[in-house]
Every structure is written in C-alpha cells, then in structure tokens.
C-alpha cells in the first residue's frame, strides 16, 4: 500500500548540502502498525513530512496506492507532538475541520465527528474550548481530527512525547483499540523502545545515517506485557542494532564530529 523506493532528501543549510536517507526503502501493508525508532536527527520527522506531502523536493519514489505523494491530502492524516489544534474552534469543530468539504451539512458533519469523539472517549467535552482541556485530551482531539477524515494512513510524530505517564498509558491503549477497531494503517514515530514494543505490529529502527538497521514483525497479542518473551527478545535486538551501528558510526565520524551521549536515549 505504501511503497518507498530509493528515497533521498537534500537539505541546503548555510552553504553546504546535507543528504538524508541514502536510498531509503520501506513498504507498509494495509493494516500494519509500524513504529519507527531512531536517534534524534536521523530523519524520522522528515520522513513523515514527506509522507504527509509537506516536503516534495525528494528524489526516489514514494507511492501510496500507486499514487505519487507530492502534496498534502486527507488520505494521509498527521498528528504532531504538540497537537496543533485550532484554538479558535471548540473540540467538535476541530474534529470536523477536515470533513467540511466532504460533508457540507454542518449537522451531518458533527454527527460524523461525534463518532470519532466517542472513539477517543471525549463526547462529553465536544463543546469545550481547546485551552480548557488537558494535554492528554488535546492529543485525543488531534487524533480524532485526523481519524475523522478516514485517512488511508495515519502518521503520528512522537504523539505521546509531551504527555505525563498516566495520559501516555491511556492513549497507548486507545491507539491499540483504534487500530483494532478501524484496522487503521498507522505509522508511528517514537523515542521510546517500550512504547514501540507495546504498540507495534512491526518495528523499524533507523541509525544516525537514516539507514534501516532493523525491521521486525511482532506477533504477541494486545494488550502486551513488557516481560513477554517476545518483547524481551526484540528489545535486545533493538538495543544491539542501535549500539552496534552507533559504535561503528562513532568510529567513522570521530574525526568530524563527536556524538553526544544523549543522541539516543531509549527509556527503559
């Protein structure tokens, strides 16, 4: 369904060009829940920006259902870490924002939006203003807003990174519920290995050079436990993949740049 082939992205920043994704490949099937892990700066957000259609100066082919991705479209909805809700609209107006074109009738539009508010347990707050609800609730609104347009793929860029533990755990469960109920294809960027282990049906790990260093399927049933044998095994694989490549990389780049300790900090 999603097919990325030989992806390259060039940035020109203060004089010199930086090349991201050296011929990066990735294929995602319908209904997969793919978590992408990788050190800061490896290009996870850039990848989602390309998929969302914000960044069109890439080379290589990026196809969603055989259609080249060149501009934003409601087929590909995105959720950001900082919610990006529209503060001049209330909760339900935010959720129905993307539906206006498809459903001109305001009442029907709201009916559709309500279904997605139910999905994230926020019907009771449909008339609330954005600043009146908590961060966790705001992120649920953002997720409902993205789901309401019934996208073929849902892109999430560290969506739970700014939340407290309790809200994060809640939202993780909601996402699993949504994934199962809607059979939604999801591409989820995270910094937390555990989060990926709890959620994903497949984990992709990138290294600092934006190369794919691990691509592994997870079979365990949801809800998962982190001490499940599969989780334990895959966590080891992820850590190994990251540390190997980091070491190799450090040696390679030692002359040019020193890599700081916090470049990747898997929260265990």
Ligand X SMILES: Nc1ncnc2c1ncn2[C@@H]1O[C@H](COP(=O)(O)OP(=O)(O)OP(=O)(O)O)[C@@H](O)[C@H]1O
Query: Which residues contact another protein (rule: CB under 8 A)?
Result: 52-54, 71-74, 76-78, 80, 82, 84-89, 97-98, 100-101, 129, 131, 145, 149
The structure tokens listed for 192 are 């937390």
Residues 39, 246 contacting (CB under 8 angstroms): yes
Q: Coil, strand or helix: which one is 55?
A: coil
Binding range to ligand X, per CB under 6 A, among 25-33, 37-45, 170-178, 251-259: 37-45
Encoded one letter per residue, x for contact with Mg ion by CB under 5 A and - for no contact, window 27-56 reads ------------------x-----------
Write down the least CB distance from residue 155 to Mg ion, Å: 12
Q: Could you give the CA distance from residue 157 to residue 84 in angstroms, rounded to a whole number?
A: 12
Residue 41 engages ligand X in binding (rule: CB under 6 A): yes
Quote the least distance from Cβ 48 to Mg ion, whole Å.
8
The residue (of 148 and 155) whose beta carbon lies closer to ligand X is 155
State the Cα–Cα distance between residues 87 and 82, nearest whole angstrom: 13
Asked if 208 and 249 count as a contact pair (C-beta separation under 8 A), the reply is: yes
- By CB under 5 A, residue 250 contacts Mg ion: no
Please give the sequence-ordered ranges of beta strands (E in DSSP) within the chain, or none if there are none: 2-13, 16-28, 33-37, 58-64, 67-68, 76-79, 153-157, 185-189, 202-206, 212-217
DSSP state of 89: S
When asked if residue 249 is in the footprint of ligand X (CB under 6 A), the reply is no
10 vs 101 by CB, closer to ligand X = 10
Q: Please report how close the Cβ of residue 224 comes to ligand X at its closest, in angstroms.
A: 24
* Minimum CB–partner distance for residue 197 and ligand X (Å): 18
Secondary structure (3-state) at 79: strand
Q: Which residues bind ligand X (CB under 6 A)?
A: 11, 13, 20, 38, 40-46
- Residues that bind Mg ion in the complex, under the rule CB under 5 A: 45
């Amino acid at each position: 369904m999603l097919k990325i082939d030989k992806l390259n992205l060039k940035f020109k920043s203060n004089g010199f060009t930086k090349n991201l994704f050296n011929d990066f490949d990735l294929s995602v099937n319908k209904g997969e829940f793919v978590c992408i892990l990788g050190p800061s700066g490896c290009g996870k957000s850039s990848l989602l920006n390309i998929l969302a259609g914000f960044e069109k100066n890439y080379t290589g082919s990026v196809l969603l259902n055989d259609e080249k991705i060149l501009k934003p479209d409601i087929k590909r909805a995105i959720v950001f870490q900082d919610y990006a809700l529209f503060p001049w609209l209330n909760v339900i107006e935010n959720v129905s924002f993307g539906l206006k074109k498809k459903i001109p009738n305001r009442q029907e539009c709201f009916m559709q939006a309500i279904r997605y508010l139910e999905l994230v347990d926020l019907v009771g707050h449909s008339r609330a203003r954005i600043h009146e609800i908590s961060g966790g609730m705001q992120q649920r609104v953002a997720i409902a807003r993205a789901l309401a347009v019934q996208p073929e793929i849902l892109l999430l860029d560290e969506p739970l990174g700014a939340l407290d533990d309790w809200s994060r755990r809640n939202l993780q469960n909601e996402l699993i519920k949504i994934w199962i109920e809607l059979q939604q294809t999801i591409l989820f960027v995270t910094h937390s290995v555990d989060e990926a282990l709890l959620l994903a049906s497949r984990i992709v790990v990138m290294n600092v050079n934006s190369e794919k260093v691990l691509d592994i399927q997870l079979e365990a049933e949801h809800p998962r436990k982190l001490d499940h044998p599969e989780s334990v095994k895959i966590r080891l694989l992820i850590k190994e993949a990251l540390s190997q490549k980091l070491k190799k990389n450090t040696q390679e780049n030692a002359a040019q740049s020193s890599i700081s300790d916090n470049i990747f900090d898997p929260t265990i």
